[in-house]
Structure formats: structure tokens, C-alpha cells
Amino acid sequence: MDALTIDLFQNITVRLPLRAQQGYWNIIRALGAEGQEFVLNDVYLRTFAARPSIAEFVRRLTKAKYLKTARSVKKHGAIREKYYVVLKNVSTAPRLKRDGTEVQPKLTDFMWRAMKMLPPFDAHELVKVCEVDGRKIALDTAKYYLKCLHKAGYLRVHIEHTHNALAIYHFIKSKNTGHYPPLVLRTKIVWDQNIEQVMGEYPEFEEAA
């Protein structure tokens, strides 16, 4: 996975995942606007990514029929260059397996989508509405995700928690940054995949003895 490395405190570095495929897809959509043809190199020259990463993404898109090979032109010897056209111009980058089939949404996808539509809610309600095809989110997972997103500024507390009731949250509409859910990394940093930015404050690290 392509990643961005940031230096938090001169001697602590964290590698943050980049939403690379959405970036590739935005470029592909622009290149293929109004039925225009493009080649792999057109995408490569507009990114800082490795060529194999882009080639694999284009291959999956072609298998899934989001792209089509319009023609193939002979270049040097047996090498041929493929020209592609966009067949399905959707705004969100498809998540595809190697064989071109759709990747099953993650549980955080369901939570992110639901909290943006719900009235003030608690973790119990979020778990209930996110149960899909027998896939159920653990209550502790939902509570932790909500706590992290609250600290990162996506949620505000509508009603504080008590000894016998969970906190009720309200989603801040202006924090709807896009389709992809915020990631909570093992360092407790919240990374917004849509705007490729750390949200909220950096967690506190204990100084080594």
C-alpha cells in the first residue's frame, strides 16, 4: 500500500495510508472524459505512485468493466500500448479484488455511512442499524470508534454518558469529508482518507526511560 510518512516529534515517525486508488480513479475519469482515450503512462505521469500499482488498478478496472481496451498500438518490437476508455464513470473509486469482483465493504464503512444519516445516537443504535447479512459490529468496537471520532472532531456529545447509559452523539455535518471512513491507526491517530489529513490532536506518547 502506498503510504505517507510523517515525523511527529523529530524522532517518532508514523506511516499513514494514502487513498491512492481514489486519486488514480479521479485522474482516469478526467483523462477519459467525453469518451477520450488514454494510456497507462498518462495516469502514471500525473501521480507519484509506482507504475506497477497503477497498472494493477487499471487491470482490475478492466476486468470489472469500468474500463475497456479501445485499441492496441504496436510500439517497439513485440511491445504494444493499450488505449483505454471509461465505461462506468462513477465518482467513488471501485474497490476491486484481483479478479475484478467487488470487495465487501468494511464494518467501518457501515458505521461511517450510518452515523451521517442518523439523528442523535449511541453505540447500541449504531450497532443495530449496521448489522448487514449477519455481519454484526461488536459494541466495544463501536464505542471505541465513536470515542476516537469524537476526539478527532467529527462528532459532538449530545448527552454525556452515565453509569447506566451510553453517551449520545451527533454527527457534525461539516465534517462529512467524503465516502471513505476515517481510519483509527494503532497509534490512535485518526487519518481521514478523503482529504488525506490527520484529524484532531496527536495522541500523547510516553517518553522512553
- Grid cell, residue 77, equals 518490437
For residue range 58-82, what is the model confidence (pLDDT) as tens digits? 999 999 999 999 999 988 777 889 9
Query: Would you kindly state where each structural domain of the chain is located, as residue ranges?
Result: 1-103, 104-199
* 95-109, 163-177, 194-208: the lowest-pLDDT one: 194-208
Name the pTM for this structure: 0.66
Does this chain's domain 1-103 share its CATH topology with 104-199? yes
CA distances to 49, 104, 202, 207 from 54, in Å: 7, 21, 32, 40
Q: CATH top-level class for 104-199?
A: mainly alpha
pLDDT of 203 reads 61
As a whole number, the mean pLDDT across the chain is 86
Residue with cell 497498472: 55
CATH 3.90.550.10, domain 1-103, yes or no: no
* 30-34, 127-131, 166-170, 200-204: the lowest-pLDDT one: 200-204
Which phi-psi region, left, alpha or beta, contains residue 147 (left: φ > 0; alpha: ψ -120 to 50)?
Answer: alpha
